Amino acid sequence: MTQRASNIVTSVALLCSFMAAPPAALGQTGSPQASDPVVNDVVRMLEVGIEAELILQWLESSGRRPAPLSADDVIALSQAQAPKQLIQTLLDMAALPPPAVVSAPPTQTPAAPGVPAPVQPGVATADGECCMVDFSVEYRVSEDKEGEELEQPGRDLFVYLDGRFLARFQSLGNIDLRGPAGLKVRVAPGAHTLRLTRELHTEAGGRKNPGAWNHETTVSPAAIGFRVEPGANWNMDLRWIQSEFSTRRPLTWRWSRDGVEVAGQERVGAFREEWPYLCEDAQASLDAGTMSGWRAKDRLKNCVTWDSLWPDGVQTTRAQVLDTLRQDDFDPPIRSVGRID
């Protein structure tokens, strides 16, 4: 057995013994006691010799998140010889906003013509630990063309969960070797709906109308429905890939419980050229004077409304979403590849 393999076996054994031992049995080493329970557990693990790599895996799989770290927490971690990466991960986790939980009555309205009907959103429960979902998103697309040569600015992929903004992803391109980006989101038990849009927001008011924006938003006709239940680990793997010469449909998604796929589709969905415009964004651009009347007429002709994308219980309007995005000048952070939030 190699030295590294021996170390891993020893660390796993220590982790198992840690999880089985009562806190009092591990808190007698004389090290300072952290004020946050999650940080305190991390310190205790370090004290008994568990490797930082396994502790990071435990944090990811358990879904536990510390409160903002106090000075005592950081000192306790430092004295327990926590690596810088582990301390930074805890700081990042503490800085994340609490994930929204959506609740709704069990009613439903028909979707817009040509748009699959989404499933009903889940009803929140008092179970504070349920349910953590791991999302893995890979977005690859060649840039749009105007005429033969001129490239338009890139359209980023926006992901919405039950009518709320979830994340923004920039295209990895067709030859980039980086893998998908990941994020963790706490979701209420029940049924949920994901929607994909391609969006480009540009400030186009000029001197005459400062602060006015042009919103170009198209919507994937595909509604991705999934159900979350307590007592399991859930994963949503999402890929949207379209090159300039693609012939296969671009969307692939898999919904897994404890590593076993329970729902999904392979190479489905409409190509980006087939995505309809979002009515509310086209109308907002027209009202702001950032888009010509003939272009607005073209976009509004076969557009879809925000309300038609969601079940009746989803109360978030597109105007509310735009107000949220406006806080970041319609430039919300792009998810970094490999970052787990």
Residue 288 lies inside a defined structural domain of this protein: yes
Q: How far apart are CA 269 and CA 221, in angstroms?
A: 7
Residue 223 lies inside a defined structural domain of this protein: yes
> Per-residue pLDDT tens for 303-336?
999 999 998 888 899 999 999 999 999 989 887 5
Contact 18, 44 (CB under 8 A): yes
The mean pLDDT of 42-56, rounded to a whole number, is 85
Same domain, 151 and 295: yes
Higher-pLDDT residue of 206, 27? 206
Same domain, 274 and 170: yes
Report the range out of 115-129, 236-250, 263-277, 326-340 with the highest average pLDDT.
263-277
91: amino acid identity, one letter: L
Same domain, 63 and 207: no
What are the φ/ψ torsions at residue 135 (nearest 5 degrees)? -105, 135
Lowest mean pLDDT across 21-30, 101-110, 161-170, 304-313: 101-110
Alpha helices in the chain (DSSP H): 3-20, 23-26, 37-47, 52-62, 71-79, 84-95, 279-288, 293-301, 318-326
Same domain, 283 and 151: yes
Residue 165 lies inside a defined structural domain of this protein: yes
Number of Cβ within a 10 Å radius of residue 55: 22
Same domain, 293 and 217: yes
Same domain, 169 and 317: yes
Same domain, 62 and 160: no
Same domain, 89 and 146: no
Of 203, 193, 124, 136, the C-alpha closest to 164 is: 193
Higher-pLDDT residue of 310, 56? 310
- pLDDT reading at 98 higher than 60: no
CA dihedral of residues 169, 171, 175, 177 (deg, nearest 10): -10
Q: How far apart are CA 271 and CA 218, in angstroms?
A: 11
Compute the C-alpha angle 275/281/285, nearest 5°. 125
Last residue of a domain, one of 73, 95, 117: 95
> Per-residue pLDDT tens for 257-288?
999 999 999 999 999 999 999 999 999 999 99
| Pairing verdict, β 164-169 and 213-219 | unpaired
Residue 8 lies inside a defined structural domain of this protein: yes
Name the pLDDT band for 338 (thresholds 50, 70, 90). very low
Name the pLDDT band for 148 (thresholds 50, 70, 90). low
Q: How far apart are CA 266 and CA 254, in angstroms?
A: 8
Contact 209, 289 (CB under 8 A): yes
Same domain, 138 and 88: no
Higher-pLDDT residue of 311, 29? 311
Mean of pLDDT over the chain: 78
Residue 287 lies inside a defined structural domain of this protein: yes
Q: How far apart are CA 310 and CA 119, in angstroms?
A: 8
Same domain, 153 and 250: yes
Same domain, 263 and 167: yes
Higher-pLDDT residue of 90, 12? 90
> Is the peptide bond prior to 131 cis by the omega test (within 30 degrees of 0)?
yes
Residue 40 lies inside a defined structural domain of this protein: yes
Residue 107 lies inside a defined structural domain of this protein: no
Residue 102 lies inside a defined structural domain of this protein: no
> Per-residue pLDDT tens for 221-231?
999 999 999 99
- Tell me what percent of the residues of the chain surpass a pLDDT of 70: 71
Domain residues for the domain of 297 are 132-326
Query: Position of tokens 């979707």?
Result: 111
Q: Is the pTM of this model over 0.75?
A: no
